[in-house]
Chains A and B, each alone.
Chain A
């Protein structure tokens, strides 16, 4: 007999979110003939790559016990920069965009580290401020890419697989290995699980957090650039509400907000679950309004199940 509790709580070889992913895949394959086509599946991968990249970095930050609400704004700024700076050459524009993301992440991390202010507050402020920066920079205009190499990149494929999907999957693999195999990954868990103990064990927790904020900043900027290549343009409002989707995906993937617990494989499952749900409901012609409600309900349901499993193991007063 499979130990059901371990199975559901992700202790066994398969995480609950993947059960969910498989279930919704089977469900939608019955509701639409086109759902299981290769074209649609790669389409889902491309659609999810933006949120997916954000979620990779967010997983690290959340395992750290922090949160980053500014990813959507950073994404928007990087997208605008990568299109707006193209007069200086494509390489300069893309590098500047990604550097901006890393610098903004470093700024977030530095503020959290040096001031001790809660990451929620710091990145909430950053979210408002960076969105302000976008408007200052773009003067509320949309930018259109003049360089066709840029917009072609977003639509290019290697064999049958879109480049964007390959980039996303490669990043996922790298981030998984870093989290599982390197000292930085171990420290990330240690800092999120018990900061006091991590500090006593000689881990430089401030530096660890700052690196993770830089990682999420990098991925936000990368996602912004890739989104801009997809559209061949950028708008000042790009990335609005993305932080909500990202956090939803990461939490669905089993990463704890309290820190010290989570995985990239779970996050990949969470991202795919959201992507498949949106795509599948779209194909069933469920109005977009209902999708918002359904996703909210699913998120809360997953939380309740998660809570029920954890409650059994800790009897007594719950804080």
Chain B
């Protein structure tokens, strides 16, 4: 496990002996936070810790989770991807609409191909043209939203035959008692985590996010690496669209609107720095699950949907602050 993040953490722990407990809490902050949340909710609601509720939350969180796995890779590489929400709308509308027209296999293939192409555009502009990823993906957010509306003519799309087929397995099926979306989520997370932590490719992404200039001087082909992270992100979005499309068997034009924010919230909660060069997939998984459990917990306690947003805000700030105690003090906090 030679990721930059582990090196960093090891360094930090050996350096700070003074504030032992606080230090441990902040190093494992997100995990501790997760357990506290789970405990608090289980006190107030009996259903919360039931097996069926936990399975439901995990299944619901899996779509955001699948996307978050890909975006985490982009962020570790030092960039951002805000276009995933629009891309999710695009891919879901595409796969649902083509399902009846050219058959499920063709629909899935075309959807993956076109979504990867959108990712390639992002990757080309950020990787090779070296444009600011925030602006590029913001522009892609609006452009892709337009593409969806042009394609669908502003109409919602539906699959005519709503009965269970092999296509509906991706969203509705169960394998050995576990929901298929959860299996896809887990598989993707494990594969990407392994790639990021033990392969040379993963190390290169960490290096580029940590110090791009040094990475280029040490012979890493930065352009291609950045390009590839956007393909990974697009691939994950396509997987999420497959799950979403087959679960709902239909799609609205704006089905993915706002997903980029939920995804980012999950990643940030997981403690991945937006500055790049640090982070891990499994922490993102925990971050996404926390979001899911908090929303579910508040729902069970009878709080309305919008209160969950407020709580989400407070939690994001809290989590990042906690996480920052673990990092070196930034310039701003010096004494300005």
Interface residues of A (CB under 8 A from B): 67, 111-118, 120-122, 124-136, 140, 195-196, 199, 204-207, 209, 244, 247-248, 251, 257-258, 287-297, 299-300, 303-304, 307, 311, 317-319
* Centre residue among A140, A294, A303 by max chain B CB count within 10 A: A303
Shortest C-beta distance, B83 to chain A (Å), equals: 10
Which residues of chain B have C-beta atoms less than 8 A from A136's C-beta? 306-307, 310
Contact, CB under 8 Å: B150 / A129:
no
Contact, CB under 8 Å: A115 / B217:
no
A295 to B305, CA, bound (A): 33
Please name the 3 residue pairs, one residue from A and one from B, whose CB atoms are nearest each other, closest first. A129-B313, A296-B143, A292-B146
* Centre residue among A127, A140, A291, A318 by max chain B CB count within 10 A: A318
**Known contacts A124-B264, A206-B336; is A317 also within 8 Å of B150 by CB?**
no
Contact, CB under 8 Å: B308 / A124:
no
Which residues of chain B have C-beta atoms less than 8 A from A290's C-beta? 146, 150
19 additional A-B pairs beyond A295-B139, A307-B129, beta carbons within 8 Å, are A115-B324, A115-B333, A116-B331, A117-B317, A124-B261, A125-B265, A127-B261, A129-B314, A131-B306, A131-B309, A199-B334, A247-B138, A251-B135, A289-B154, A293-B143, A295-B142, A296-B139, A296-B140, A296-B142
Which residues of chain A have C-beta atoms less than 8 A from B310's C-beta? 129, 132-133, 136
Shortest C-beta distance, B272 to chain A (Å), equals: 11
A195 to B336, CA, bound (A): 10
Which residues of chain A have C-beta atoms less than 8 A from B130's C-beta? 307, 311, 318
Which residues of chain A have C-beta atoms less than 8 A from B140's C-beta? 296
Which residues of chain B have C-beta atoms less than 8 A from A128's C-beta? 261, 265, 309, 312-313, 316
Q: How many residues of B contact A (CB 8 A)?
A: 53
Which residues of chain B have C-beta atoms less than 8 A from A133's C-beta? 310
Which residues of chain A have C-beta atoms less than 8 A from B129's C-beta? 304, 307
Shortest C-beta distance, B298 to chain A (Å), equals: 11
B120 within 8 A of A: no
Contact, CB under 8 Å: A244 / B142:
yes
Q: List 29 A-B contacts (CB under 8 A).
A: A67-B134, A112-B332, A116-B332, A117-B317, A117-B324, A118-B275, A124-B261, A128-B316, A129-B313, A132-B308, A132-B309, A132-B313, A135-B309, A136-B306, A136-B307, A195-B332, A196-B331, A199-B331, A257-B134, A289-B149, A292-B146, A293-B143, A295-B142, A296-B139, A296-B143, A297-B143, A304-B129, A307-B131, A317-B213
Shortest C-beta distance, B76 to chain A (Å), equals: 15
Which residues of chain A have C-beta atoms less than 8 A from B73's C-beta? none
Contact, CB under 8 Å: A317 / B336:
no
A113 to B23, CA, bound (A): 23
Which residues of chain A have C-beta atoms less than 8 A from B217's C-beta? 317
Partner of B213, one of A292, A304, A319: A319
Shortest C-beta distance, B319 to chain A (Å), equals: 10
Partner of B312, one of A114, A117, A129: A129
A303 to B129, CA, bound (A): 10
B108 within 8 A of A: no
Interface residues of B (CB under 8 A from A): 125, 129-132, 134-136, 138-147, 149-150, 154, 212-213, 216-217, 261, 264-265, 268, 274-275, 304-310, 312-314, 316-317, 320-321, 324, 329-334, 336
A247 to B147, CA, bound (A): 21
Partner of B332, one of A120, A205, A248, A297: A205
What residue in chain A is nearest B310 (Cβ atoms)?
A132
Which residues of chain B have C-beta atoms less than 8 A from A300's C-beta? 125, 131, 136, 139
Which residues of chain A have C-beta atoms less than 8 A from B332's C-beta? 112-113, 116, 195, 205-206, 209
Partner of A291, one of B146, B265, B306: B146
Which residues of chain A have C-beta atoms less than 8 A from B261's C-beta? 124, 127-128
Contact, CB under 8 Å: B317 / A122:
yes
A5 to B136, CA, bound (A): 24
Contact, CB under 8 Å: A296 / B146:
yes
Which residues of chain B have C-beta atoms less than 8 A from A311's C-beta? 130
A288 to B146, CA, bound (A): 8
A134 to B143, CA, bound (A): 28
What residue in chain B is nearest A209 (Cβ atoms)?
B332
Which residues of chain A have C-beta atoms less than 8 A from B321's C-beta? 115, 117
What residue in chain B is nearest A127 (Cβ atoms)?
B261
A124 to B140, CA, bound (A): 19
**Known contacts A248-B138, A299-B139, A317-B216; is A111 also within 8 Å of B317 by CB?**
yes
